Amino acid sequence: MTIVLRYVDNLGFVKEIFIGVVHVKDTSSLTLKNALNEIRGQGYDGASNMRGEFYGLKVLILQENDTNFYVHCFAHQLQLVVVAVAKKHDDVSEFFEQISLVVNVVCASCKRKDLLWEQARQRVQKGLCSGEFETGRWLNQETTLVRAGDTRWGSHFNTLTSLMKLFADVLVVLEFVKVDGGSLANRQQASGILAYFKSYEFVFTYI
């Protein structure tokens, strides 16, 4: 468990100071309580083991020391708000639903994942031979599509970044599924995604 002190300075800037890493055998509320028992104020996310009404970490701490206070992590709240607001916009909501479907279809089997990886490998190899890609440490690392999570808005950014890097390779996999998908539903999904990629809504939202 990582312990970080977060506060706002006199200028209104949020500061974070790394305190240390504490080993915990599990993430149950009681175990976390014992590890945090000496800390006056805590801030965590809204998971049930943290803010549960009866057995959450917040309740266990307040039972022994009512001067402590619980703060639902503001950064986490902001991420939840951004995701909720984005879903209220029809085009943005449709966009991320389609992106989620892309990840599901392309990464649905080892065969498709292998095809994605092989296409990326060939593309990078060709780029290196032609001088289009630079060589160096940490460059041209193997990657895959990243699934977005509603509780982490940053994961949506990672999903889009991975799709940008692998877009040409993803198209190859989708064309493969469109023709040789294991079921009619799979072929229809791939065909629908490819059609969406050519739409004005996708291009406008993605760019």
Give the pair of three-digit tokens for residue 53: 């009404």
Asked if 153 and 161 count as a contact pair (C-beta separation under 8 A), the reply is no
For residues 197 and 206, give the distance between their C-alpha atoms in angstroms, rounded to a whole number: 10
For residues 167 and 177, give the distance between their C-alpha atoms in angstroms, rounded to a whole number: 15
Looking at every residue in the chain, the average pLDDT score rounds to 79
Nearest 5 degrees, angle CA 168-CA 132-CA 165? Answer: 30
First and final CA of the chain: distance in angstroms? 38
What is the residue-level pLDDT of the chain in tens, covering all 207 positions? 888 888 888 998 988 888 888 888 887 888 877 777 666 556 666 666 666 666 677 777 777 777 666 666 666 777 778 778 877 888 888 888 888 888 888 888 888 888 888 888 888 777 777 776 666 655 555 677 777 776 666 778 888 888 888 888 899 989 988 988 778 888 898 999 999 888 888 888 765
Q: What percent of the chain has pLDDT over 90?
A: 4
Question: pLDDT tens digits for 35-58?
Answer: 776 665 566 666 666 666 666 777
For residues 156 and 137, give the distance between their C-alpha atoms in angstroms, rounded to a whole number: 26
One-letter identity of residue 3: I
For residues 162 and 170, give the distance between their C-alpha atoms in angstroms, rounded to a whole number: 10
pTM: 0.56
Residue 67 is predicted with a pLDDT of: 67
Asked if 108 and 80 count as a contact pair (C-beta separation under 8 A), the reply is no
Question: pLDDT tens digits for 168-186?
Answer: 889 998 998 898 877 888 8
